[in-house]
Amino acid sequence: MAKSALDKDLKKVVQIETATYARSRSLATPGLLIVFMIGAVVIASLSVGGPLKYFVFFAAVIAAYMALNIGANDVANNMGPAVGSRALTMTHALMIAAVAEVAGAVLAGGDVVDTVSKNLLHPEKALSVVSFIFVMTAALLAAALWIHLATYLGAPVSTTHAIVGGVVGAGVAAAGVAAVEWSVIGGIVLSWVISPVFGGLIAALLLGFIKWQVIYRDDRVAAARRWVPVLVAFMTGIFAVYLVSKGLKRVWNAPLAFVIAIGILSFFGAYFAARPWVLRRSRGMENRRKHVAGLFTVPLIFAAGLLSFAHGANDVANAVGPLAAIVASAQTGFADAEKVDLPFWVLAIGATGIALGLGLFGPGLIRTVGEKITRMDTIRAYCVALSAAVTVLVASALGLPVSSTHIAVGAVFGVGYLREFITNSGVPNPAVRPRTLFLEPSRLNETPEMALLNYQKRERRRLVRRQHVLGIGAAWVITVPAAAILSALLYRVMWAIGG
């Protein structure tokens, strides 16, 4: 009896400890957020003076909130496929992404600050300095609220499109349609189609190449020894060009010839390094798909980290671009500053917020992108990551506007639909199912009952969840107008209170 009573008491103690731990974790999140917000205000107060400094303090809090939402929503596009393929655990993905995002934001961030803070509007034509500050603050808050809602609903959206919609909406509310650079908005609308289509096509082409050149071969190991070093070299060359021309542009604007030379040297250097590594890893390997797919794990991890670095370098401007414009206007007293500088403290708020938002709220969207749209393995995830880099480079060379969010999600859909097409259409696999060459003509003699049965079987083999296609597509389309309407309303409220 005494032992039974002791066991019951110990169980109660364990339950109390578990409940206390869960409670402390639930309190830790808002505590961290409050400390971060207060820290943003303290840093702003130590860095900015003058009669308009209180506008900067408020904007710093909103920028911190926006950075948190970017970390929660946008970073999932880079890490989702790696987590979904089990190449990385959620914990390792969060650690790598946080380090890479902060490094990209601090070392090379802010290249597109002028686009977000100046090129969308012509403030010198119609806006006072206070009105301009209200426009940028309303845009930040509207974009952050919209991204927060999208994250809660599990929809990956473009943070760039959200902030653009916010700036446009508040700008129209403040000065009318003439204050907006509508050609930029036309490019944004065009990117709704270009980004996911390019990302999906390139990812599907890469996956198709790997399937027919490696997976569908009789000797998969020999084919992998031949092609995996080439694919790793191609990835390395692409990312070298990507980082030099895009990610490091703020630090160093390299000449085109040098960028091309870096890409070529990186390709051959990676090829001669990867070839012995692949030979060593494939020694004694079974001629099975999952074993060959394991050769793509390390390249995938590097690709996800490099994408996060480039994302931090480019998309930190969505959080701190308007704040930088507000700081410039508050310090100069003009809405049309010749150049919008990016102080380090502003950049630090964006980088810290992205990392914190990723750690606290990122896992949900990472699972959506990596697991809920279609099934991922290391080969498919590798194709998604490489497609994102290739698409950005090709689109930049052609002068086409693209969204990194739309590219990555479009690439996930692309590999999913290719798998579905191969599974349902009788496309031959020379190594596994050569008889499928003769299945397709037999359908000419199908009875209506057989046709219905075969149709139902094909329907059951849908490998892409359609509800996510509709939900994510709808979120993409309404992001700009939703952020614009919300921003216009917020601007009116701000102007009524403090204008």
Determine the 3-state secondary structure of 121 from DSSP.
Answer: strand
Local structure of residue 434 (DSSP, 8 states) = G
Give CA–CA dist 388/397, Å, rounded. 14
**What does the block give as tokens for 361?**
């709220």
pTM here?
0.80
Per residue in 414-455, pLDDT (tens digit) is 888 888 888 776 555 555 444 443 444 445 455 655 655 555
Q: How many angstroms separate the Cα of 58 from the Cα of each of 132, 141, 419, 469?
A: 14, 11, 49, 37
Q: At what angle do helices 90-108 and 344-361 cross, to 10 degrees?
A: 170
Ranges of residues in the chain with a pLDDT under 50 are 17, 19, 21-24, 432-442, 444, 456, 459-460
**pLDDT for position 470:** 77
Cβ distance 22 to 342 under 8 Å? no
- List the one residue out of 333, 347, 325, 348 whose CA is nearest residue 49: 333
**pLDDT for position 489:** 96
Domains in the chain: boundaries: 35-425+464-498
Burial label for 58, CB within 10 Å (0-12, 13-18, 19+), is middle
Determine the 3-state secondary structure of 429 from DSSP.
Answer: strand
**pLDDT for position 237:** 92
**pLDDT for position 441:** 47
**What does the block give as tokens for 494?**
């701000």
Place of tokens 């206007």: 329
**pLDDT for position 451:** 57
Give CA–CA dist 307/390, Å, rounded. 11
Q: Give the bridge partners for 433, in sequence order.
A: 429
**pLDDT for position 208:** 93
Contacts of residue 326, Cβ cutoff 8 Å, sequence gap at least 6: 55, 56, 59, 133, 136, 137
